[in-house]
């Protein structure tokens, strides 16, 4: 292959017509590549739309029978889908998953120690917010979440928000802060 390249290079230097022919070939190849890329970009939205149902089915176990699904685990940066991402993917509504952060829960209004679901008031947000505690400590007596519920006291937590229409939709609590 290298020998062929050297022969073509020598001929192109010696023959102006061959040089023009090669240049025109490269231009056409570049145009073809640009056209294919354009077609691919035009096709991507249809492919994503067609895959939506299967994406929703793929994350069904997350939250009911497992805590997370890891795909492409052999890559340097595998894709990890936890419950907040799974909820956003399964939803028919436009939901965004925010970065983990510290949230100040002003009050727990309800808390299910078996499922972790709760209704809370969060500092800086209006109204009651749905939440879910995934901390294993929730099953232990005297845990900070049950104590906060019983005492009507506030609690700072580390959590991951799910946003709907620029408002806090749900808070996934992982641990006290």
Separation CA 93–CA 143 (nearest Å): 34
Q: Is 50 exposed, middle or buried (0-12, 13-18, 19+ CB in 10 A)?
A: exposed
The pLDDT score that the predictor gives to residue 51 is 77
Which CATH architecture group holds 96-176? Beta Barrel (2.40)
Give residue 127's pLDDT.
93
pTM reported for the whole predicted model: 0.67
**What tens digit of pLDDT does each residue of 26-69 get?**
778 777 788 888 888 888 888 877 877 777 777 777 776 777 78
pLDDT, residue 18, reads: 66
Alpha-carbon gap, residue 161 to 175, rounded angstroms:
14
pLDDT in tens, 130-168: 999 999 999 999 999 999 999 999 999 999 999 999 999
For residue 127, what are its two tokens?
């109204």
CA distance 136 to 172: 13
How is the chain split into domains, by residue range? 2-51, 96-176
């Amino acid at each position: 292959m290298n020998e062929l390249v050297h022969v073509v290079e020598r001929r192109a230097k010696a023959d102006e017509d061959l040089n023009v022919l090669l240049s025109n070939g490269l231009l056409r190849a570049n145009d073809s590549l640009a056209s294919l890329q354009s077609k691919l970009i035009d096709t991507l939205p249809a492919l994503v739309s067609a895959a939506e149902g299967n994406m929703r089915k793929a994350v069904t176990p997350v939250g009911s029978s497992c805590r997370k699904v890891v795909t492409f685990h052999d890559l340097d940066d595998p894709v990890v889908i936890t419950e907040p991402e799974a909820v956003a993917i399964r939803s028919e509504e436009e939901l965004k998953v925010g970065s983990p952060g510290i949230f100040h829960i002003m009050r727990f209004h309800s808390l299910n120690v078996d499922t972790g679901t709760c209704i809370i008031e969060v500092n800086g947000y209006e109204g009651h917010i749905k939440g879910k505690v995934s901390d294993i400590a929730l099953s232990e007596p005297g845990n900070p979440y049950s104590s906060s519920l019983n005492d009507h006291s506030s609690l700072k937590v580390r959590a991951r928000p799910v946003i709907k229409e620029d408002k806090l939709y749900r808070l996934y609590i992982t641990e006290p802060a």
